[in-house]
Amino acid sequence: MNKIDSLLPRSVQILLLLFLVFSGLYFSAGFLVPIALAGIMAMLFLPFSRWMEKKGVGRTVAAVICILTLVLAIAVFLFLISWRISNLQANFDQIEQQFNKYLLQVQEYINNSLGVSKEQQDQMLKKNGSSGASNAASYMAGFAAALLSSLTTGILMLIYIFLFISSRSHFKKFLLKLVKPENKANTMEIVAQTTEVAQNYVSGLAKMIFCLWIMYSIGFSIVGVNNAIFFAILCGTLEIIPFVGNITGTALTVLMALAQGGGGGMVLSVLVTYGLVQFIQSYILQPLVVGKDVNVNPLFTIMVLVLGEAVWGIGGMVLSIPLLGMCKIVFDHIEPLKPYGYLIGNGDKSNDDKPMTEKIKSWFKH
């Protein structure tokens, strides 16, 4: 009885601690997410920065070059998207004709099935349109505020990345001052391995995006979408931004299908291709490819993606896997936490060097 009584307060303390931690993370998302994203990006640019420093470039200048490289990559990507959208605008009349054609078909179906005439449907659409127009100003104001907030956050992240790269020695000395002298070597090993986790995550993400390029290319080519390879690369690359990137890439592909005169069957085929690839990406590629490169168990990969979205939204989904991989590194180097590091990891890694055919055969063995 005494043992149960002693365990109960301990369990309550753990639950209270978890509640406070996740509540703090949830309500401070606007502050912490940009810092965490900037920290991950800074780790990615560390090899490039160190290479320039070995060539005689100052650390501050190297950090500036890293920032300019990132901005240039984003600018090129946005230019390609805007170029494709401008091409779609040239076919806007054809897209509008296709949309009106489908709208007439829907109205005829509603008229035949529910007995609502086209005139009544037009009146309902006009009524909703007028009420929507009255709120257009508020919608535009909200969009402008969101755009300004995103721009401000982006600039703030660039500043964070610059400071993390240029001042990394300062943070390293701070960590060493926190630990005892006999633990400094272990601390430096943790720092080095957590940096590798971020780089391995991007490596796994690149592998997953390459697989998505292939799957989207096959699917869009079978469907008959013009410039199938371009849209496959676009949709696959936009997977870096969960949900928003998915919707953007798919919407542009659907508009392309309408612009080339594709019927409802082509649009439906594009959506089916998107859904099938998303299923494979979410439940096979992400856990087995990305999770494997950061040495995280597929089960916990899926769980942390769901938890990250619940706590930090889209940013949480982007950060969840590398942060879990970093937590595993810390757990593996602290004796009382080693069982938890083993739990969220892949366990025995002796199977990693086997050929893929042997791995597949092992799935069916007990």
Concatenated DSSP letters of 220-265: HHHHT-TTHHHHHHHHHHGGGSTTHHHHHHHHHHHHHHHHTT--HH
Question: Is the pLDDT reported for residue 233 higher than 80?
Answer: yes
Q: Does 319 fall in a domain?
A: yes
Question: Is the pLDDT reported for residue 169 higher than 50?
Answer: yes
Its sign, for the CA torsion 131, 132, 136, 137, is: positive
User: Same domain, yes or no, for 332 and 204?
Assistant: yes
For the chain, give the mean pLDDT.
79
Condensed to tens digits (0 to 9), the pLDDT of residues 251-264 reads: 878 877 777 766 67
Q: Does 361 fall in a domain?
A: no
The pLDDT value recorded for residue 157 is 92
Percent above pLDDT 70 for the chain: 78
**Cα–Cα distance between 69 and 33 in angstroms, integer?**
22
Q: Does 246 fall in a domain?
A: yes
The pLDDT value recorded for residue 208 is 86
User: Same domain, yes or no, for 272 and 323?
Assistant: yes
User: Same domain, yes or no, for 205 and 147?
Assistant: no
User: Same domain, yes or no, for 259 and 276?
Assistant: yes
Q: Does 358 fall in a domain?
A: no
User: Same domain, yes or no, for 250 and 264?
Assistant: yes
Q: What is the pTM (predicted TM-score) of this model?
A: 0.73
User: Same domain, yes or no, for 54 and 156?
Assistant: yes
The pLDDT value recorded for residue 314 is 80
Total structural domains within the chain: 2
User: Same domain, yes or no, for 198 and 322?
Assistant: yes
Tell me what the mean pLDDT of segment 291-298 comes to: 76
User: Same domain, yes or no, for 193 and 264?
Assistant: yes
User: Same domain, yes or no, for 197 and 327?
Assistant: yes
The pLDDT value recorded for residue 363 is 47
Tell me what the mean pLDDT of segment 71-76 comes to: 90
Its sign, for the CA torsion 231, 235, 238, 243, is: positive
**Cα–Cα distance between 318 and 241 in angstroms, integer?**
7
Tell me what the mean pLDDT of segment 6-22 comes to: 77
Condensed to tens digits (0 to 9), the pLDDT of residues 176-227 reads: 888 888 888 888 888 888 888 888 888 788 888 889 889 999 998 898 888 7
pLDDT class for 135, splitting at 50, 70, 90?
A: low
Question: Is the pLDDT reported for residue 321 higher than 80?
Answer: yes
Q: Does 354 fall in a domain?
A: no
User: Same domain, yes or no, for 171 and 296?
Assistant: no
User: Same domain, yes or no, for 170 and 196?
Assistant: no
The pLDDT value recorded for residue 67 is 94
Q: Does 309 fall in a domain?
A: yes
What are the two backbone dihedrals, phi and then psi, of residue 57, each rounded to the nearest 5 degrees? -80, 135
Q: What count of Cα atoms within 13 Å lies in the side-chain half-sphere of residue 174?
A: 5
Structure tokens at 169: 């020695």
Tell me what the mean pLDDT of segment 283-300 comes to: 76
Q: Does 22 fall in a domain?
A: no
User: Same domain, yes or no, for 113 and 229?
Assistant: no
The answer to whether the beta carbons of residues 207 and 222 sit under 8 Å apart is no
pLDDT class for 309, splitting at 50, 70, 90?
A: confident
Tell me what the mean pLDDT of segment 105-125 comes to: 70
Q: Does 301 fall in a domain?
A: yes
The pLDDT value recorded for residue 365 is 55
The answer to whether the beta carbons of residues 310 and 260 sit under 8 Å apart is no
In this predicted model, which residue has the larger pLDDT, 96 or 312?
312
pLDDT class for 1, splitting at 50, 70, 90?
A: very low
Condensed to tens digits (0 to 9), the pLDDT of residues 45-62 reads: 988 999 999 999 899 999
Range of the domain at 108: 32-131+142-178
CA distances in angstroms from 149 to 7, 41, 200, listed in the order given: 47, 20, 31
